[in-house]
Amino acid sequence: MAESTREGTDSLFEAIYTQRAIRRWRSDPVPDDLLWRALEAATKAPSGSNTQPWRWVVVRDPATRRAVSEALSAHLASDEGMRSYFERGVQSEDRSQRLMLTGALEIARDLARAPVLIVPCVYGGSRADNLLAGSSIYPAVQNLLLAARGLGLGTVLTTFQARIEPTVRELLRLPADARPVALIPLGFPDANFGPTRRKPVEEVVYWDSWGSTRSR
Amino acid sequence: MAESTREGTDSLFEAIYTQRAIRRWRSDPVPDDLLWRALEAATKAPSGSNTQPWRWVVVRDPATRRAVSEALSAHLASDEGMRSYFERGVQSEDRSQRLMLTGALEIARDLARAPVLIVPCVYGGSRADNLLAGSSIYPAVQNLLLAARGLGLGTVLTTFQARIEPTVRELLRLPADARPVALIPLGFPDANFGPTRRKPVEEVVYWDSWGSTRSR
């Protein structure tokens, strides 16, 4: 597969295989045109009965980004469960897990390093709060991440907004019937895109019934 | 953007812009190699703490596909809510909505027209049944749909499995701790890929705070 790079690509499979979590960004602003292209790509995803139950709040204002970042960082410092999760993680014996959690901790401490934060919200569709309801929003989120990768922009999918939802609601002036579903920092990467670590596909695919694996 | 076609593409943006719901398939079998490629692409998606909490059940056995199809079709005939939803829909004044729901009704009546059914399951991760839990499975589902599009395979994302979950569990021998999250027919399309109908992106993107739109 493709080598590590910070460049964009229009190859579908290259984008899919190298869209890894990026947690360091250059400070360069992101041109409007690239944001529009990534966001429009997001909206091309399927949703139940094509309801498109989404709004996308793009946060570039430095004061707002700083306020979101400070709220998350304060939460991290005070929440015992979240702190111990990260503390165990950064001591993990699994190097890849350790690196991932170290990066997650850093970004939780300093979100505002990213020049753009994107907060997708479910809005105007069903109010269901169950797993299946995610089928009408996260495909669009994934389109956003892939399109950003294609445009040479780095992102990381987080649900940190859930940790500081009252603050996010207030800062972004979300109405009661909008539900923020992710908090996605975005910018030109100061790290490489590249292959991701995943279980072999043969182990997670079953043929005709549960547990029935085959070799490729 | 690209013209309608039934061919594959390795263009990321072409795949995103033309990945529309396909509900008619040719009867040709789908080569294993294409299934592996689409499924491996699915597994490259992000998930919370990289837990990859998924299994993918690929159903090709004709008797199993027929049994799933018959269960759904029987449910459709007996469930008042589902029937009236479709009946109202196929009389909608919005042509695009009408066509979409007519297609959905046809596929609900005869799922087994597709040579392959894919049932992604959440397994081995958090047991949370809330909207945010979808962030660890539906990005992978969207990778599957896009990769299939890239390979010239047509799919439609449905959650019909929820309507007949006991039957699906029994036929596919799902364990209690696996949760089927979608039912995705797949095959070589007997319809064109092509542009999808979506709201203009300017209407669904807000800048810095809710309701603050901008022109592109």
Tokens of A199: 């279980």
Give the CA dihedral B204, B208, B212, B213, nearest 10 degrees. Answer: -50
List the one residue out of B147, B7, B9, B120 whose CA is nearest residue A16.
Answer: B147
CB contact under 8 A, B36 and A216: yes
Of B50, B97, B132, the CB nearest to A159: B132
Question: Is 0.90 exceeded by the ipTM?
Answer: yes
Q: Which residues of A touch B130 (CB under 8 A)?
A: 129-131
Contact by Cβ (8 Å): A47, A141 = no
Q: Does B11 touch chain A (CB under 8 A)?
A: yes
Q: Which residues of B touch A48 (CB under 8 A)?
A: 159
List the one residue out of B8, B117, B124 whose CA is nearest residue A12.
Answer: B8
Q: What is the pLDDT of residue B38?
A: 98
Q: Does A139 touch chain B (CB under 8 A)?
A: yes
Region A119-137 average pLDDT = 95
d(CA B15, CA B52): 24
Q: Does B29 touch chain A (CB under 8 A)?
A: no
DSSP H helical ranges for chain B: 12-18, 32-43, 62-78, 80-90, 95-109, 138-150, 165-172, 201-204
Region A188-209 average pLDDT = 95
Region A199-210 average pLDDT = 98
Q: What is the pLDDT of residue A4?
A: 67
Contact by Cβ (8 Å): B37, B83 = no
Output the pTM of the full model.
0.97
When the pLDDT of each residue in chain A is averaged and rounded to a whole number, the result is 94
Amino acid code (one letter) for A156: V
Using pLDDT thresholds of 50, 70 and 90, give the confidence band for residue B96: confident
Of B157, B162, B201, the CB nearest to A139: B157
d(CA B149, CA B151): 5
Q: What percent of chain A has pLDDT over 70?
A: 98
Would you say residue B3 has pLDDT above 80? no
Q: A16, A57, A107: which to substitute to probe chain B, counting the most B Cβ within 10 Å? A: A16
d(CA B12, CA A118): 21
Region A137-163 average pLDDT = 98
